[in-house]
Structure 1
């Protein structure tokens, strides 16, 4: 288990994470990955603590992963469903959060379609001088910190299974392809992957990769590049991360058609020939098969790390809850 003192009460963004914090998460997650490989997959680290999953937006992987992570740490869990809650009667989001606070909640995992909601709840918890920790599970087009960390853990664990650490990314080329504009996953991954000396290449149509993303690389240890064709992003890449086209977030016609998108930016076996021979492909899910990535490639364990990402998610979220909850080894 990592020994670095953890000082964050809330995890809302990766923009201000430092190397020591990344490595603490990676090493703690590695220890929990070992726990998850045992016959008895449960530890008493957060026994007696209460974790509430407040998901104001639909989710399968993230919500299930956080719930399982909390249970593996022996915490009690409460799951919130907006459709059957008092929100339908006019209750505010902050009042909902304060209700869970009154129930004795120790941590709240928040997902919302509007950016800034987890931050607003964290500010309210701090104003009330509570010790409740808030973990952002995805807010609008802002960030998705736990996804960025599990992607980082998946890559670093492949490079060094025994000791995943941030410095393994030094000199690696990582391409992120697709709907960068609407992707909170892309933003969190940009912050984590440029925290060391990696080259991060963003690729997609100009409507989905605006020039403003060039500013994300300012002052970072790694280097950030933008491309509006896919070939230079894939050339000699070590890892390729393709993103879902978030049709539910598009209020304008930003693409001619899904078919044309796949022809120009879809990840296929033929396109991977531009990359390093041992290239690996990631996707945060859910996947539009045949759009962002060809279906056969998605299921090919020689290239795809998608199932490993899901598995890594439980260990990483165990690590985050453990660190925030001041868990005892």
Structure 2
């Protein structure tokens, strides 16, 4: 399905921290092919026919789980969905034993989401230890990483610049602001790695309670590609893209904000605020959106400014690309 001549070599996709530009470009080009497939009347290809994809979501999810399930089915894979509420975990079974149960049922690819950082890595290590041949794809773990979300964001941004040939080179010296609950966000961490690798200039903005000092320490070693702001104006001035993040109340263990109203006044994205950005600025959000908090409703629904619906559509194409690449590598 992909036009690239490169060979995919990774068995697992757990983090984007060490991804090369060539690997990112390979994903982008493969996703273009599947984006074309999704626009056809027959939206299915036999790329993973005979393989079994298991969605093991130990944490609630609607968008990501549905996106992976649809992506697997569009590739003609068989799909098994895991539900923790009706699983043997409630009877004392360990997560690794649960994974081995699905392995025994024929799983080829395990898509794993968990509230604790490191769970997908632990399962991948166990699958490698027993030489199962199973691939693990991290669908979000704790505050650590969310590779597929960052990759669909990268794909969405690149397609704005060049719909037919998205590549990392398009982002060289582009200014991208990430605004919101950065301390709790696995999406932010994965986006930082992928956008910096692509050559973009990344600006983080949030109140100090949601953007700790250690991010500034990290930025100082980023070769001038990552910047930290505790006020929004400098972060979004002349920005090409603004990515807002959801306030993750479920992960906040203390009162980190005076009020949602005050947060919106200081960091919410409004039409007035966007006037300091580039004239053709676009806005992204991984969803779900707290309307009137991270984003004003008129911005969220604005057809010329918002890329949120495009992100959802691109999510299926990018996840098809990821499943295809690790699934096809099993045949080599």
TM-score (norm 1): 0.98
Alpha-carbon distance between aligned partners in 1 of 2:296 and 2:157, rounded to the nearest angstrom: 21
1:219: Cα distance to partner? Answer: 5.8
* 1:142, distance to aligned residue in structure 2 (A): 0.3
1:227 maps to which of 191, 205, 229: 229
Matches of 1:24 and 1:218, distance apart in 2: 30
Choose from 187, 190, 193 the match for 1:191. 193
| Alpha-carbon separation, structure 2, partners of 1:73 and 1:221 | 40
**Given that residues 14 and 138 in structure 2 are in contact (C-alpha distance below 8 angstroms), is that contact kept between their aligned partners in structure 1?**
yes
C-alpha separation in 1, matches of 2:166 and 2:313: 15
Report the equivalent of 1:310.
Answer: 312
Across the two proteins, how many residue pairs are aligned to each other?
A: 328
Pairing 1:91–2:79 present: no
Specify whether residues 221 and 50 from structure 1 end up closer, same or farther in structure 2 by C-alpha distance, changes over 3 A only. farther
Retained in 2: the 8 A contact 1:196–1:221? no
The separation in 2 between residues aligned to 1:136 and 1:115, in whole angstroms, is: 10
Deviation (angstroms), 1:171: 1.1
State the partner residue of 2:303. 301
- Equivalent in 272, 276, 279 of residue 278 of structure 2: 276
Determine the structure 2 residue equivalent to 1:159: 161
C-alpha distance 216-30 of structure 1, shift in aligned 2 (>3 A): farther
Residues 82-103 of structure 1: CA deviation (Å, up to 9, x unaligned):
0011011111000000000111
Tell me which of 166, 183, 187 is aligned to 1:181: 183
Q: Which residue of 1 aligns with 2:259?
A: 257
Q: CA deviation at 1:214?
A: 3.0
Task: Look up the match of 1:57.
Answer: 59
Q: Distance in 2 between matches of 1:217 and 1:270?
A: 28
Contact 2:219 2:228 in 1 (8 A): no
Q: 1: distance between equivalents of 2:146 and 2:216?
A: 20
SS in 2 for 1:26: helix
Gaps of 5+ in 1: none
In 2, Cα distance between the equivalents of 1:133 and 1:306?
29
Q: Where does residue 71 of structure 2 map in the other structure? A: 69
In the alignment, structure 1 residue 9 sits paired with structure 2 residue 5 = no
Deviation at 1:326, TM superposition (A): 0.9
CA, structure 1 residues 23+218, in 2 after alignment: closer, same or farther (shift >3 Å)?
A: farther
Write the distance in 2 (CA, Å) between the matches of 1:238 and 1:194: 15
Q: CA RMSD in A?
A: 1.1
In the aligned structure 2, how far is the partner of 1:221 from the partner of 1:152?
20
SS at match of 2:173: coil
Cα distance in 2 between the residues matched to 1:151 and 1:168: 14
Rounded to whole Å, the distance in 1 between the matches of 2:39 and 2:25 is 21
Describe how 1:116-135 pairs up with structure 2 within 5 A.
Answer: 116-135=118-137
Comparing 207-216 with 81-90, greater Cα deviation is found at 207-216
Equivalence for 2:328: 326
